[in-house]
Amino acid sequence: MQPRWTVAALGRRAAGLVLPRRSDYAGLSRSWRRDLAAGLTVGIVALPLALGFGVASGVGAAAGLVTAIVAGLVAAVLGGSHLQVSGPTGAMTVVLVPVVAHYGPEAVFALSILAGLLVVVMGLAGMGRLVSVIPWPVVEGFTLGIGAIIFLQQVPLALDTPRAAGVNAGLVALGTLEAADPRRAAVPLAVTVGVIVLMLVLGKVRRSLPASLIAVALATVVAEAARLPLARIGAMPASLPAPALPSWDAEALAAMFPSALAIAALAALESLLSARVADGMVQEVPRAHADRELVGQGLANMASGVFGGMPATGAIARTAVNVRAGARTRVAAASHAVVLVIVVLAAAPVVALVPTSALAGVLIVTALRMIDLRTARSIVRSSRADALVYVVTVAVTIVFDLVVAVQAGVAVAAFLALRAMSRVSGLRRLGVRELDAAEEDALLHEHIAVYRFHGALFFGGTKQFLDELTAVRGVRAIVLVLTDVRMMDASGANALGEIITSLQRRGMTVLLKGLDADQLRVAGAVGVLDAIGAAHYFHDLPAAVAHARHHVRHELDGRSLLDCAAVPTR
């Protein structure tokens, strides 16, 4: 058999995950009008978000717009989802704010390339399926935590006050509030509140209206007409910047590698979750290919960094707008990037006049929509374990960071699941009537015990089995029935070996019955079968009991175990 990971095999896999396919555009002849209309709609929705996330992250509105264009186009063409819309997101902003504060805005471009490379490696390594093991309470807790942090991050923009020093969003918001001048902050705060109210009202009047764009445009007109003293986005480039590699400082990159790893993990997680949401919204479109999506998102991040953009992910809100607007192929997501290019070429001077406090209002509404109290109540009421996982994920997201939050949430969920599994696993001594009623009197007097394991023999639940069996008294032969063992890992097999050795030292004969092929392999690898001997493993319970009775009878007669060799064992 050829090795799986040869250079040729890796090359074929990479080509299969990177190269576009004709099937990517199946049905385009029927849906192109809807796709282009959806792209226009998403472009209008994405414009204020791209500007806002760029400003909020500290790299600037231009970088946010470049990211939406470059990463959005590359991910649309090369990604694994037909409906996904990619660009700067609130979750990525949460990660980038401390990076910009520590290393400066220029470091973000290099980080985007490095993180993109890591995401490509994840896709080539087949890690796309891992998102399916993340529990629902972790995903929802992660989302609520992101919403809370985005809300807190808008305080400096909403008050037109310099951002206080620090990394934690809550502490920075408090510091900014303390430093703000109430008289100077009143006007920008009024603009922020006005944008929020207008967006909420327009959303109730008609959901199809581009509420964020209308609100920002109106706030800009009012600010210009009244000559309000507000911070503006400022000068925007009239064209896309030329591609260029950022300066590479090996020492600085080594120091920033943990941040790149966090960005890569977040880009992978959010993109795969967004693609999964899109899959659930439309049935007639092919499902997303998880590994290809990772490769496409990785290349999109690398391209974004080369053009002076920030890291990008699949954007759940924009993807949902894309689907609802009628998108059925990746042409819709690609055309949304074209719409943003037209904005750069034709409307850069107008965009430069947008008040940053208006963008704060847009992002606050985005954050509020991520905080789903109905879902929170459902999870908290479902079970104590799910409530604990949810609360831990939310708290760690807000206090520490997103990647640590996912790790903590999954760890707590895994611990609780293992504890629950160990509780439903157990050991039960079979009554003789469960074997053969005719043998009742004989077995009662022949010092034979039959125990049945059920559930799982694994590292989280072996001690109770060991304690119960080693406490057995007055027995000369024990039959361990393992037919109902659903899972056995090396720890469980090792514990089983310790049980057998302990019982044998006390003069008891141990017989096993009922392991499947995989469990036999694990048991053989750790030496369980060597401990009991091949003659003491059975596939049939009556044969095992007969062998135990025969052994005990010969032992009582003073014979050695070798005298039993003539007894059939199967």
* Global confidence as pTM: 0.72
C-alpha–C-alpha distance, residues 277 and 285, integer Å: 13
Q: What is the reported pLDDT for 411?
A: 87
- Residue range 290-319: average pLDDT? 94
Percentage of the chain modeled with pLDDT above 70 = 88
Q: What is the reported pLDDT for 484?
A: 80
> Domain segments of the chain: what residues?
37-416, 426-557
Q: What is the reported pLDDT for 566?
A: 43
C-alpha–C-alpha distance, residues 532 and 509, integer Å: 8
Q: How far is CA 362 from CA 3, 56, 200, 330, 365, in A?
A: 53, 11, 10, 26, 5
Q: What is the pLDDT of residues 412-467, one digit of tens each?
A: 887 887 776 666 555 555 544 444 544 544 565 667 888 888 777 765 555 566 56
Helix (H, G, I), strand (E, B) or coil at 551: helix
Stated as kind and residue range, the H or E segment containing 170 is: helix 169-179
User: What class does CATH assign to 426-557?
Assistant: alpha beta
C-alpha–C-alpha distance, residues 429 and 409, integer Å: 38
How many helices and strands in the chain, by DSSP H and E? 24, 7
Residue with tokens 């890690």: 127
Q: What is the pLDDT of residues 459-518, one digit of tens each?
A: 555 556 656 666 667 778 888 888 888 778 887 788 788 888 888 888 888 888 888 888
Beta strand 448-457 pairing with 426-429: antiparallel
- Residue range 254-279: average pLDDT? 88
Q: What is the pLDDT of residues 349-390, one digit of tens each?
A: 999 999 999 999 999 998 888 888 888 998 998 888 899 999
C-alpha–C-alpha distance, residues 513 and 523, integer Å: 12
Q: Give backbone dihedrals phi and psi of 313, rounded to 5 degrees, phi first.
A: -140, 175
C-alpha–C-alpha distance, residues 85 and 317, integer Å: 9
- Give Rg (Cα) of the chain: 32
Of 87-101, 148-162, 417-431, 447-461, least confident by mean pLDDT is: 417-431
Does 232 score more than 80 pLDDT?
A: yes
User: Beta-strand (E) ranges in 489-544?
Assistant: 509-513, 537-538
